[in-house]
Amino acid sequence: MLIKALRCIIIESEDISQELHKDFKMEKIYLDNGATSYPKPKEVADAVYEYMTSIGANINRGGYQVAYDLEGTVFETREMLKDMFGGSDCKNVVFTKNVTESLNVVLKGLLKPGDHILCSSMEHNAVMRPLVQLAKKGVEFDRIPGTECGELVLDAVEGMIKENTVAIVMTHASNLVGTLNPLKEVGAICRKHGLKFIVDSAQSAGIIPIDMKEMHIDALCFTGHKSLLGPQGIGGFILDEGMINLIDPLLSGGTGSISHTEEIPDFMPDRFEPGTMNIPGIVGLHAGLKWINEKGLDAIAAHELGLTQRFLDGLIPLEEAGKLKIIGRKDIKNRTGVVSIQTLDVDCADAAFRLDFEYGIETRVGLHCAPNAHKTLGTYPTGTIRFSFGNFNTEADVDAALRALTEICG
């Protein structure tokens, strides 16, 4: 009897849950483009579907026309990436599954026990966890300080360089507050002192112009699924010619080339591309890059920063009323469309839950895989609610978020 009664309670609870779900079903507003861009252009989905249903071949491993044509698409994707970022040669564009893998390959392949490297205080764990891991093997690192807005203290950099410093690694744009680091100026310091310059462009690639030559960047690490508008699972890095032989490959295996030897190829990109690559991801990234090139970086940045300004303008009265705190800059200078806030009378996690459940607004809350960045900003350990705008957001989305915050914050 007890089991039967419990079963009835469970069934009744499920029915109530389903009814509540129906009642609260609403159109969602996606404001989490800092995690991954959504939606993607239709062309991206179409390209991946076309590959999966009509092509399906591998590259460097098929002796037939479809495989050769596909190699052309992959080559063209490398060309577009080289052109977008001012790389020296498309053969130096290497595909990985994401920017984290790219940073691991570059940092762990370059740094040896006894080496010293500088990073900013605003780094994501994609940089910090490899550095902390390497520190246990004898690599030293120091963090260049930042301001409470997340801006690099540029004047501190040269004084932190040691005799054994070999490189600086730095995010281009903060994933918490969108603040941009001065890549050109830091690159010039690296060139002056004979250091290698490694850049994490996860939050800026596809929005903010980057020129490896002008900024003296030796290794640019990127991900494809954010503002480059590709699918998840595709990323890469671009090397300056002088970096290639300084990095020991992290992975090795079949490349479809020089199959007569068991040695790792010494030429690019095969040196760093063992095994079957994410061809559907590359095909989707190819379509995303074409879409970006047709629209133009300036137009993309103008749209996203316009939404950011509208959002900040609406937040300021709430801050002045003591309802919330804007973290980072309150204007759109030197930044991307990423805005973090703390709600003062409502727990941030509760506010983020209500934004989603009651208003259909999707954000990210917490420490965002960047604990030291939060310490720099003074938001550790509470974290923040992050709103990140993308190509397909509208002014109506911004206004809906502001209305929701006004009601939640009381």
What phi, psi does 157 have (nearest 5°)? -65, -55
Task: Supply 135's token pair.
Answer: 């520190």
Residue listed under structure tokens 């002192």? 193
Rounded distance, CA 78 to CA 378, Å? 40
The 3-state DSSP class for residue 250 equals coil
Reported as a single tens digit per residue, the pLDDT across 45-103 is 999 999 999 998 888 887 888 888 899 999 999 999 999 999 999 999 999 999 999 99
Q: 43-295: what fold?
A: Aspartate Aminotransferase; domain 2 (3.40.640)
**Domain limits of the chain?**
26-36+297-409, 43-295
Residues 338 and 180 sit within 8 Å (Cβ to Cβ): no
Q: What is the pLDDT of residues 170-202, one digit of tens each?
A: 999 999 999 999 999 999 999 999 999 999 999
pLDDT per position as a tens digit, 250-309: 999 999 898 999 999 998 999 999 999 999 999 999 999 999 999 999 999 999 999 999
Which one is the CATH code of 26-36+297-409: 3.40.190.80, 3.30.70.120, 3.90.1150.10, 1.10.10.10?
A: 3.90.1150.10
Q: pTM for the complete prediction?
A: 0.92
Cβ within 8 Å of residue 225, ≥6 positions away: 36, 37, 98, 231, 232, 233, 234, 235
Cβ atoms of 251 and 277 within 8 Å: the answer is no
CA distance 150 to 147: 5
pLDDT of residue 207 exceeding 70: yes
